[in-house]
Amino acid sequence: ALFSADYGAFIFEVAEDTNIAGDVKGVDCELLGFTTESQTIVCGKASVLLSEAKEAYLKPLENIFPTETKKSGDNATFVPYTFGNKVFARGAKIASPRVFIPVFPGTNCEYDTARAFKRAGAETDILVVKNLTPAAVEETVEAIVESLKKAKILMFPGGFSGGDEPDGSGKFIAAMFRNPKIANEVMNLLNKRDGLILGICNGFQALIKLGLLPYGEIRPLQHNSPTLTHNNIGRHVSTMVTTKIVSNLSPWFNNVNVGDIHTIPVSHGEGRFVADTEVIAKMRINGQIATQYVDRKGAPTMEFPFNPNGSVNAIEGITSENGRILGKMGHSERISYDTYKNIPGNFDQKIFEAGVRYYE
């Protein structure tokens, strides 16, 4: 039974005192074995080390779908930054701020994102971008401007906008939001209405390509501007990673402390944060490095799979200088009480609640 084909079957791990015959009624089930503390699979008189079984399983396709990356020789260091006071909005208090979520062709996280904000007490405004005809594009531009005027928070959700074309992720979003009308309203949101901006995964890529991160404004990119590029492993990565809060500059992190560690899902092909040493040094001094990938000991690392993309200095998320714009690769919106049951860790960074409470 252990090695025979049984398509559609499930393997369950249950408590030792479970009465399989009595407790699992109406289901055809069979006892396969028992778990032990030994790192060995034992079947009859045969035994196989788990390490050997894993190697045999991965080896045939290792050259096609690699599970390891070459050692880069780079190091990652812990960059803690503690801001003395929590930051809140200066204007009138709002119980349920409106969150504007533009949906581009290829966006696939808008529902999870809207649910996370609604759960935190916000109102959400989802707008589908139409680009089939020039007239539809113009209509969308006007609709985005109107939605921005009503919003307190701009949220760029994850996905693969424009199929990550042409030759890079987030470019379609950046092209649309560089429209003068839209760009002007984004800056009004930030500078005149004390607004917040959040970008996750593909949204983070768009913030980088707009210049909103790390510079805090929509601006032309320079040759040394930070970017997010292809993962070191050369393929898409979908897994759970561990990240550490290393700066509380941002109001998005009002509900956590520097040093807190979370387990977060990632799913991307272009998540490797790259910037020159001068930019990294300035961001570090300003407290703009928000989160880092860490290993089992909580130390920032360049090693795969803990650092899933090879980001310089293990950077997972960054902020603008004032902290009100946050971009990160990990999908903080993809959590619920019924997911990741067999994975240990603290999943909730409470960033959506922090964004809403910023205006209370």
- Please tell me the pTM assigned to this model: 0.89
Determine the Cα–Cα distance for residues 55 and 187; give it in Å rounded to an integer. 52
Contact 274, 229 (CB under 8 A): yes
What is the rounded average pLDDT for all residues in the chain?
Answer: 92
Instruction: Tell me the average pLDDT across 298-304.
Output: 96
> Active-site residue among 123, 185, 270, 333?
333
DSSP 131-166: -SSHHHHHHHHHHHHHHHHH-SEEEE--B-GGGGTT
Domains along the chain?
98-357 (3.40.50.880)
- Whether 223 is catalytic is no
- Whether 333 is catalytic is yes
More confident position, 148 or 10:
148
Dump pLDDT digits (tens) for 161-193.
877 666 667 889 999 999 999 999 999 999 999
Q: Is 333 helix (H, G, I), strand (E, B) or coil?
A: coil
pLDDT of residue 89: 75
- Whether 201 is catalytic is yes
| Cβ-proximal residues to 127 (8 Å cutoff; 6+ apart), any chain | 100, 101, 102, 103, 140, 143, 144, 147
Determine the Cα–Cα distance for residues 207 and 202; give it in Å rounded to an integer. 9
β-bridge pairing 227-229 and 196-200: unpaired
pLDDT of residue 74: 77
Count CB neighbours of 317 within 10 A. Answer: 32
Dump pLDDT digits (tens) for 254-296.
999 999 999 999 999 999 999 999 999 999 999 999 999 999 9
More confident position, 111 or 32:
111
pLDDT of residue 6: 81
Q: Is the pLDDT of residue 151 over 80?
A: yes
Going by C-alpha positions, the residue among 259, 164, 156, 141 that lies closest to residue 201 is 156
Query: Band of the pLDDT at 102, cuts 50, 70, 90?
Result: very high
> Active-site residue among 201, 268, 270, 316?
201
Instruction: Tell me the average pLDDT across 284-312.
Output: 96
pLDDT of residue 3: 67
pLDDT of residue 342: 85
pLDDT of residue 64: 87
> Active-site residue among 109, 270, 331, 353?
331
Q: Is the pLDDT of residue 250 over 60?
A: yes
pLDDT of residue 12: 82
pLDDT of residue 73: 64
pLDDT of residue 287: 96
Share of the chain above pLDDT 70, in %: 95
pLDDT of residue 56: 93
pLDDT of residue 276: 94
Q: Is the pLDDT of residue 206 over 80?
A: yes
pLDDT of residue 21: 67
More confident position, 214 or 162:
214
Dump pLDDT digits (tens) for 119-138.
999 999 999 999 999 999 99
Q: Is the pLDDT of residue 1 over 60?
A: no
Determine the Cα–Cα distance for residues 180 and 218; give it in Å rounded to an integer. 10
325 DSSP β-pair partners? 197
